[in-house]
Structures are given as structure tokens and as C-alpha cells.
Chain A
Amino acid sequence: MYLKIAQFILILILSPFLFGVINRTKAFFAGRKGSPLLQLYYDIFKLLRKGAVYSTTTSKFFIAGPIVSLSAVLTALLLIPFAGQPALISFDGDIVLFIYLLGLARFFTVLAALDTGSSFEGMGASREVQFAMFVEPALFLSLAVLTRITGQSSLSGIFSNARMSSWVTYDPLIILVLGALFIVFLAENSRIPVDDPNTHLELTMIHEVMVLDHGGVDFAYIMYSAGIKFWLFGTLLVGIFLKGYSCGQVTASVVFILGMILLAVIVGIVESTLARLRLLKVPHFLIVALALAIVALIISMR
């Protein structure tokens, strides 16, 4: 129990670090020196020290948005296993709670965006809910495949190290699921090619534009929840990769964290080498994830 709480706190501390890794990788590819690895920590601390400016249009709801979103993401983090160890809370069907908590976060982020009355933010909100329509079924179905393979319907059960033998025989399926989950991962974390985390240009923006009017402590909450969300989805991918790997607790943890860093590097490479998709093409891209998941599920019915 104490160990699990320690792990939880470790994740809370570590997760913003991955953004630094992504930015460094991108800087490396662009031939720049890049921002410090701990940049997101600096940003968050700077924001926490600021006062607040609110738009006259907004209501109290605007403040509730980031708070509820971050709480939802933190609660979701409690369900996520770490390095093959069961999570703090795990039960049959916690997959559903996990995805719906992220849905709660989305619900409040979207509403906070609509509260500003700005067209830009309305646009971003509208796109966000549209893309969620493809991402959520894809995520559900990918996890359903993993459920079918492992016979477990909880995240901790799926990713626990105990059931390796069944894992190996399903290789081709795992690749399909990984593909689907990677697309979901990119979309949910608003990375290229779905969204561009760096631009504020209204034609390209989805997630960034929704939080345009937030500042100070509220924005710090938002940035931090982005960091944790990255960890949440990263765990699903890295967890699948390291599934067959078994060793001591400490080594496993170290390997797991290294895996997350590697994932951040991969995301950096993807972002440096790919261009953002045309907005109308994004649903098409997300449907690919859905198709992969369905194909994997059908194959798993052998």
C-alpha cells in the first residue's frame, strides 16, 4: 500500500519531465539547442506564482473547468498500473471508469472553453468533441482486445506481469492493438499529426485553443493535467511492450520509466518528421485506429 502511494507520488513528480524530452528531441531534429529538460516544471511554477485575469464574459464555471479536469485525470491515474504492479484501485471493468473519467475531463474543458464566448474556443471545443467520437470507441475496442487476450477486464489485470505465456502467442494481434492505441495516444494528447501543441493558429488548433483564455493557477492546472494525461496513455503503450518482461521490482520500475522516456523520444521523432494532417483528414486517420481495433478483435475470435 505504502509502496503504491510512493509510486503514485513518483508519477506525479515525473510526468511533466516527458514533455521536456519531447521538446529536446524535436530541437535535436531541427538543429536547435532546445529548452531545458525541466521546462514544464519551470512553466508550472511560474504560473502558480501569478495572479489571475478573467474575462468579463466568463462565469464561475470557467474556474471549475481546470479544477475538475485535473481531478478527473488524477483519479484516472489511481487506476493505472505502474511497471506491471497493480494500481491503487483496481477492479473488474475499471477500464470503463478510466475512459469515462477522461470523458469527464473533456466535458469540463469543453464547457470552460464555451464559457469565454470566443469563436476560436468554440471552434476548438467543437473539434474536440468530434474527434472524441472516433477516439473513444477505438480506445474501448483496443482495450476490449486486450481483455479478450488476457481474460482480465481491469487495467491492472491486463498489464500485470503474471500472464506472459498467453501474450507471446498473440503477437500479430498485439501489433494491431499497438497501432490503434498509438493513434489514440497521439490524438488524446493533441500531438502531431492530429493537433499541433505549439501553434495558436486558429485553423490548426484544437486543444490549445480551448485553453486560450486561461491563465495563472488555472493554466498551471491545465498544463499539469496534460502532463499526467501523457503518462496515462503512455502507460498503456509501454505496458504492452514490457508485458513479457519480468524481473525484480526496482529493475522493472527503472525499465518502465526508461520505456516512457523512449516513448517521449518516439513522439518527438514523429512530430519532427510528420506534418499535421489537414483538419478534414483527421477523422479519416482516427477511423484507422477504430478499424485496426475491430480487425484485431475479430482475429482474436479465432
Chain B
Amino acid sequence: MNNLGDFVVIIVLLMNLMMLSSSRIRTCIRIVAGQGILIGCMPLLNDFHLILPGMVISASLSIILKGFVFPWLLFRAVQEANIKKEVEPVGGYPLSLLIGVMIFALSFWLSTRLVYTKPLVSHLAAPVSFATFFTGAFIIVSRMKAITQVIGYLLLENGIYLFGAAFLSEQSLLVELAILLDIFVAVFVMGIAIFHISREFDHIDTQKLSELKDSIISKQDI
């Protein structure tokens, strides 16, 4: 058993929970950046002879992107859009935290049903990667602000990467790189979109975007 791998994976899990319970957007960005760096290091935790040069390159690329470039973009968006600090979860922090724990329980159960070759880094990698994925999805669903939804996407991506990294196959890393590119574009676009939304509406509350839909009442008014 690889104790160091276990440690890293558990820290990744704890970061998910921290993300669910923290109330500041800046903290959330830092957490997701830290998580990106940690997960980026995952493939390098294996035995030395198993590490291929391609992996080192892709790992360092993802560390640079997720650990530094994305946070920088997000911080800029927060600053320029003049976003308030609070995260505003639906249903309160304690509930989100408990849901996070339940997500982990579910992922653990799912991973026991999965038939897979033994992972090399840590036996917890599969459940934690599922949990990270679902936590990201949960954040996207339960948070009001566009920027926290971007953070949710990043978390989701971290989950996918962790899964690939844990099972250490060349192909999955290729897929991962492609996803990374997608996410990169997404973050870029979202950053611009957030900036524009905030300039137009003075807020980035996605719930209020629903005001944009055609409403019968307003037509009657006209």
C-alpha cells in the first residue's frame, strides 16, 4: 500500500469538503487551484520506472494551467466584475457539507461495484475521483453565482483527471488533455461572459438570468 498516495487522495477529498463549507469565493478559487496542483502531481507519485516522459509533460502542463493560469483568470474576473465575497449556497452550509459526505459515501459504494484493474497510486483514488466529480456537479447545481459554477466545472475536471492519473494509462492522459483544453476555453469564455454580464446587470446572480426569458406579463404591459 502506498501511504503517501492515500494521504494525497484524502487531502483531495478534504478539499472537496472544505470547498462545500467555505463561504468566500477567493478561498474556493485557492482550494481548487491547490487541488489541481495536488492532482497534477498524482502520476508522479508512482514508482520511478513507471513514469514516462509524456506523463511528465502532461502533468506539468495541467499543474501550470490549473494551479496558476485558471486561478489567475478567475481572480481577475472576481476583481473586475466586483463580485461580493459570499458564496450563497442553496440550503445553507451545514446541509451542503452533509451532502458532500453523502456524495462520498455514494461514490465509495459505486467504486466497490466497479470492476477495474488495481490502481497504482491509492485504492481510494476511484471513490475520491467520483466524489470530486459529483461535488463539482453539486456545486454547479447549488450555487447561485456564475463564478462558483466555473469553479464547479474545474472541480469536475479535477475528478476526471484524478481518475485518469490513478490508473496511469497513456490514453486516459490524452483524453484528459483534450478535456483540459475544453475547460480552458470554457473558463476563458466564462470569464469574458461574467465580465459582460456584470457590466450589463450589476450582478452575476444566475437566478436572475431567468428574467431575460419572454414573459407574458411584460408583453401585456406593452
Contact = CB atoms under 8 A, between A and B. Distances in A.
A287 B97 contact: yes
Contacts of A32: none
Interface stretch (B1-9, B71-79, B152-160, B211-219): B1-9
Contacts of A299: 10, 108, 124
- Mostly, the A contact residues are helix
A35 B108 CA distance: 51
B98 interface: yes
Given A298-B104, A298-B105, A302-B123, A287 B1 contact: no
Interface string A266-296: 0000000000000000011001101100110
Interface string B8-28: 001001100100010000000
Contacts, number: 43
Given A295-B104, A298-B104, A298-B105, A172 B10 contact: yes
A302 B125 CA distance: 12
A49 to B, nearest CB: 47
Interface string B85-99: 000000001100110
Contacts of A171: 3, 6-7
Most buried by A among B6, B13, B94, B105: B94
B94 A283 contact: yes
Contacts of B7: 171-172
B3 A172 contact: yes
Interface range, A side? 10 to 19
A60 B94 CA distance: 40
B13 A288 contact: no
Contacts of B136: none
Interface in B101-121: 101, 104-105, 108
A291 B10 contact: no
Interface string A142-153: 000000000000
Contacts of A257: none
Nearest to A176: B10
A112 B191 CA distance: 58
A295 B6 contact: no
Contacts of B14: 295
Nearest to A168: B3
Contacts of A298: 104-105, 108
A178 to B, nearest CB: 13
Nearest to B3: A171
B28 to A, nearest CB: 16
B94 A287 contact: yes
Interface range, B side? 20 to 34
B100 interface: yes
A290 B93 CA distance: 14
A291 B123 contact: no
Given A171-B3, A172-B3, A302-B123, A291 B98 contact: yes
A266 B93 CA distance: 28
A288 B21 contact: yes
B98 A287 contact: yes
Contacts of B108: 298-299, 301
A176 B124 CA distance: 15
Most buried by B among A169, A284, A295: A295
A291 B105 contact: no
A288 B21 CA distance: 9
B13 A284 contact: no
Interface string B117-153: 0000001100000000000000000000000000000
A288 B20 CA distance: 11
Nearest to A134: B94
Interface in B176-216: none
Contacts of B1: 169
Contacts of A288: 17, 21, 97
Contact of B6 (A172, A287, A291, A294): A172
A291 B1 CA distance: 25
A294 to B, nearest CB: 5
Contacts of A295: 13-14, 17, 101, 104
Contacts of B100: 291
A264 to B, nearest CB: 27
8 contacts: A169-B1, A171-B7, A176-B10, A284-B94, A287-B97, A290-B98, A291-B17, A295-B14
Across chains A and B, which 3 residue pairs bring their CB atoms closest together, nearest first? A172-B10, A172-B6, A287-B94
Given A291-B17, A299-B108, 14 more contacts: A172-B3, A176-B10, A284-B21, A284-B94, A287-B97, A287-B98, A288-B97, A290-B98, A291-B98, A295-B13, A295-B104, A298-B105, A299-B10, A302-B124
